[in-house]
Structure 1
């Protein structure tokens, strides 16, 4: 097996309910991206059913990989390596993509690397801005994760803080579901918010009075169910105003923490990715906040914010260059975590 020096990398992600594969050149140029969604399968249950998700991945994984290779116009032997998500995520789902990636790499005698799903999301900044070479703070916000990552350089990630309970996307979906908006509720909340008043209901902003980069959304969910939902049911509050108030509360916290993280680290580049980063209200608020502080903001296109194989290929590229192939003993880890950054409240990380 020849060592990886760059080139064409296949990235595979099956961490939750999307089966995704993509071919990326040198970690920055997307040649193809294929995704098989399971939204319609899980919609009747109001959320992802792990057993169903893993079985659907088994059916979809090979066709999705083939589609990614065909769209890139290459054969498996043209690949220079394979990357797949090893965690965090649903264990049954992770196993499908991870083992498929391992098997393919073995079959074509190419390097294989396991990638952290959150590092994958953060790595989409190089797909959106290939020439980026500065340190950055990245907000990763999705249905299952909300975390702030400090990116010293490509392939080097440290956690600055994360949610202590529920993820931002979970708050969108669970409160939205209680409002009768179906699954997934996040996009519906975003659409309704365009016609609502964000100050109609004042919902709590978790940990807003604490000097921390951590986040919390459980109190918001409780307050919304206790005070906002009864008002919607008896007609005192419109769905549009409820959605706008919910979105405003979540967006306020996300923007506040990302701006705090930039100040704490001294980074002049900030970014947001993950499914929640496709939210139009969040993107507008981040644009305003970054402009006010003269920060360079990177917002990958929505297709790069949701789960995809290209972000895994980008992260895998830098991992292979830095550390080489993963140990053959590497296994999936549904609770994988990124190491914590070693900074204090008054100690900037620095700019290099």
Structure 2
């Protein structure tokens, strides 16, 4: 079995390839060619945390596996990552374990890639100004993905702790270089969002992270941080105004996404207004953006098909490049 660290995965697969892999995964899912049970979430109330277990089979992509990921928000005060995890890949023909991948990097990569895929289809072609709310790994990956599908001239960053946003800006400037000519830290989320063409929210907030009035027409929003029914990043009024709301999975989003469930409970939005799954758009069965003035929202809660298909792409490339650590688990005699 091959062990692949975050560094190994970063060497093996670039963001544009990850975006294509996510498109393949979601097309299989929306086409009914994947077996993906709803994920099992185990609360860890003593830590205000959640442990998630997500299996998936995408036979057409040669992908079978299970993902474990934990979200422990208090780790931010312990100088530890908020997200930990691992993905175990298996051979769909024999069932034998193939690889164990560090999961927090893969989670951020595939979530970022989903944001890039959604932005490709839902943002205006001339979108050039992005606002990023949140400054963690998810935000970094989402920005990389958005920059892979749109030519950005300005990125505005916001975090409740300004020093974190300033550190983030310095890191991005070093990583992105001339890809984004202007990076700036905004003093408040309203200023960051006002006038932006693309808005990315990458937080674990339980309340909206920007004012509803800051969002104009023609904007595309990627809400990728919140993942539980009691979490909300996007104001309900904005969801109600959206011309198109797109998700990875109707079933998962309407079971887990507080950004949708809370407006439904408040009578601001109806599930029947959900426009499409992203895989339906990628496969050409549903339209993406159709007018420049549309307000579009992509709400992500994560889907294991993305993990196992992107993970399989990483595994195959790592084999080709000789990346990773080989471990012999041995076989117990039957």
TM-score by length of 2: 0.37
Q: Which has the larger radius of gyration?
A: 1
Report which structure shows greater RCO (CA 8 Å, sep ≥6): 1
Greater strand proportion: 2
